């Protein structure tokens, strides 16, 4: 399996890539990371730069063809699953991390303890409306916390405001949209928001509510993960502390550090 990190998780929100690798390692998943991973072409496609996008896509397609792929980014998932199929006439074997996490839980390769948390979920456009995946992230969240829904969910969920170049071209509009989503999230009484797209995490970040990627959420608090040959107690990405007005600690505290093996780095050049 190739873990295709995507530009945002690889270069900006590196904790998403790191958390994903921690979970894959614990679950005993045999994976590799492309040393020379390129952009999937999603942003160029959505902003009208078709020729430039296709150049990137050809290069990436050669590296990924015939491989089983897991991605962190909803945009990468939509692009690799649908756009590549349209351009190259062949569908890549691509799975979103939320789907893989659900599978690993069902197979007993990872287990997690319930936390005393209320969590609301934001549906990324590319994962939900574009690809029809609404339930896997919710089932994963439900293994660990109480899921509380916003009024607009699923196919009716609002865009985070970052897609299609809006964040770059119209930053004020993008910010206005994200603030409205946070308003809706706060109405649910949730302690935090989880989503499955690095772009959404970036745009929804707020000092009013903690926003997490699903992989970060999975490592939150006292979590017990069982792989085939080991069991690791993880003190995750901060826990709610009533003495601190239920604010989330930002530092990750690991009772046992899970170091990503060097063998996963730079294994494949396609």
pLDDT tens digits, residue range 1-26? 999 999 999 999 999 999 999 999 99
pLDDT at position 197 is 92
Q: Is the pLDDT of residue 169 over 80?
A: no
pLDDT at position 2 is 98
CB environment 60-89: b (16+ within 10 A), e (fewer): bbebbeebebbbbbbbbbbbbbbbbeebee
Q: What is the pTM of this model?
A: 0.81
pLDDT at position 131 is 74
Name the one residue in this structure whose structure tokens are 């299609």. Answer: 164
Confidence of residue 165 (pLDDT cuts 50, 70, 90): confident
Nearest residue to 206 via CA among 186, 220, 189, 187: 186
Is residue 35 a contact partner of residue 269, using CB atoms and an 8 Å limit? yes
Name the one residue in this structure whose structure tokens are 């979970």. Answer: 23
Q: Is the pLDDT of residue 59 over 90?
A: yes
Six-digit token string for 243: 């003495």
165: left (phi over 0), alpha (psi -120 to 50) or beta: left
pLDDT at position 122 is 94
pLDDT at position 223 is 53
What's the rounded Cα separation, in Å, for the pair 106 and 143? 11
Name the one residue in this structure whose structure tokens are 């799975």. Answer: 95
The string of DSSP codes covering the chain is: -EEE--HHHHHT-HHHHHHHHHHHHHTT---BEETTPPP-SHHHHHTT-HHHHHHHHHHHHHHHTTSEEEES-HHHHHIIIIIHHHHHSS--EEEEHHHHHHHHHHTTS------S-EEEEE--TTTTTTT---HHHHHHHHTTSEE---SS-GGGPPP-S-GGGHHHH-HHHHHHHHHHHHHHHHHTT-SEEEES-HHHHHHH--SSSEEEEHHHHHTSSEEEEE-SS-EEEEE-S--EEGGGTTEEP-S---SS--PPPGGGEEEE--
What's the rounded Cα separation, in Å, for the pair 223 and 232? 8
What's the rounded Cα separation, in Å, for the pair 193 and 214? 9
């Amino acid at each position: 399996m190739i873990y295709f990190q995507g530009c945002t998780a690889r270069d900006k929100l590196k904790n998403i890539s790191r958390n994903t690798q921690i979970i894959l390692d614990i679950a005993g998943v045999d994976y590799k990371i492309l040393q020379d991973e390129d952009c999937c072409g999603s942003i160029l496609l959505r902003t009208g730069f078709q020729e430039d996008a296709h150049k990137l896509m050809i290069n990436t397609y050669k590296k990924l063809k015939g491989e089983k792929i897991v991605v962190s980014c909803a945009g990468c998932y939509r692009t690799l699953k649908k756009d590549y199929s349209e351009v190259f006439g062949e569908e890549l074997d691509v799975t979103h991390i939320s789907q893989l996490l659900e599978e690993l839980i069902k197979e007993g390769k990872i287990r997690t303890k319930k936390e005393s948390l209320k969590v609301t979920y934001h549906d990324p456009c590319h994962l939900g409306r574009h690809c029809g995946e609404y339930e896997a992230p919710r089932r994963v969240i439900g293994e660990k916390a109480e899921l509380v829904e916003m009024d607009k969910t699923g196919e009716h969920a609002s865009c985070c405001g970052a897609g299609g170049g809006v964040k770059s071209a119209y930053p004020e509009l993008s910010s206005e949209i994200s603030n409205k989503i946070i308003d809706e999230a706060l109405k649910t009484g949730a302690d935090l928001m989880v989503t499955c797209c690095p772009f959404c995490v970036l745009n929804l970040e707020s000092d009013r509510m903690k926003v997490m990627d699903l992989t970060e959420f999975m490592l939150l608090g006292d979590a017990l993960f069982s792989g085939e040959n080991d069991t690791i107690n993880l003190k995750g990405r901060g826990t709610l502390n009533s003495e601190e007005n239920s604010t989330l600690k930002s530092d990750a505290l690991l009772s046992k550090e899970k170091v990503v093996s060097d063998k996963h780095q730079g294994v494949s050049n396609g």
